[in-house]
Structure 1
Amino acid sequence: MTLLILVVDDEPDVESLFRQHFRRDIKTGRFMMDFALSAADALHIIRETVEAKLILILSDINMPGMTGLDLLPLAKAVRPEVPIIMITAYGDAETRRVALNSGAEALLTKPIDFSALRGEIEARIGLAG
């Protein structure tokens, strides 16, 4: 079964950044990445994904409309087994506390440390295998 990572961010250039950093993994089929430009789109993908095994959700916090923090409990209600890592430009203690208390596995700050993120992904692939 194909492993899927969902990235949720309202900035369109995020997709190309992630695809660049994980191009070998995607090309060799180690995992797929899907992208949602809003929390509402992400919820649709989370609910409808059946052909791939969703192993990780990465979500920006600050998005128009429904924020990543709004998405977090809704996504956990649909897929409680899928870890969610929140991403923010503002890694203050209060944001971290709210994210972790709401069910986030971790909080990464922008600019993203892709080495650390790769470690998180590798851990999920190991658990999924």
Structure 2
Amino acid sequence: MSALILVVDDEPDVAELFRQQFRKELRASRFDMEFAQSAPEALERVGAAEAARLILILSDVNMPGMSGIELLPRARKARPDVPVIMITAYRDSETRPKAIEAGAAGLFTKPIDFPELRGEIGRRLDAATGPQ
């Protein structure tokens, strides 16, 4: 059973970007990725995901309706075992402390440093499934 990473972002091109960046890992079935374009859709996917499969949630901070910061405690309540890493386009001094205080396991700034994110995902995979 492959590990699952849920990516939450209201911009539809983000799914294609992640598929391109992680195509080798996805082809090798190292993990699967699912995409949600809103916080409510993400909560549905979190609730529907098999417990053992969902190992990480990557969520944009700024989304219409429910923000990523508002999603964070709800996702953590539904799945306290699953780390949530926030992604933001803004390099302000308030976002990181807000995200960490709300329970985020980390924060990436856009444009995403994909080699760094790949390393973070590798560490999460190792923690969830043991070294590959």
Q: TM-score, normalised by structure 1?
A: 0.97
Secondary structure class of the residue paired with 1:7: strand
Q: Which amino acid aligns with 1:55?
A: I
Show structure 1 runs of 4+ deviating over 6 A.
none
1:27 is matched with 27
Secondary structure class of the residue paired with 2:81: coil
- Tell me if 1:47 matches 2:55: no
**Paired residue total:** 129
1:128 is matched with 128
Secondary structure class of the residue paired with 1:91: coil
- Deviation track 1:19-51 (CA, whole Å, cap 9, x = no partner) reads 000001111110000000000000000001127
CA RMSD of aligned residues (A): 1.0
Q: Is the 8 A contact 1:91 1:108 kept in 2?
A: no
Q: Which amino acid aligns with 2:66?
A: M
- Tell me if 1:84 matches 2:88: no
Structure 1 segment 1-129 matched on structure 2, within 5 A: 1-50=1-50, 53-129=53-129
What displacement does 1:92 show?
1.3
What displacement does 1:108 show?
0.5
Unaligned runs of 5+ residues in structure 2 are none
Secondary structure class of the residue paired with 2:90: coil
Compared CA separation, residues 68 and 127, structure 1 to 2 (3 A): same
Unaligned runs of 5+ residues in structure 1 are none
What displacement does 1:75 show?
0.1
| Separation of aligned partners in 2, 1:26 and 1:128 | 17
Q: TM-score, normalised by structure 2?
A: 0.95
Q: Is the 8 A contact 1:2 1:52 kept in 2?
A: no
| Separation of aligned partners in 1, 2:85 and 2:35 | 14
| Separation of aligned partners in 2, 1:111 and 1:26 | 21
- Percent identical pairs in the alignment equals 59
Secondary structure class of the residue paired with 2:117: helix
| Separation of aligned partners in 2, 1:51 and 1:109 | 28
What displacement does 1:91 show?
2.4
Q: Is the 8 A contact 1:86 1:99 kept in 2?
A: yes
| Separation of aligned partners in 1, 2:52 and 2:66 | 25
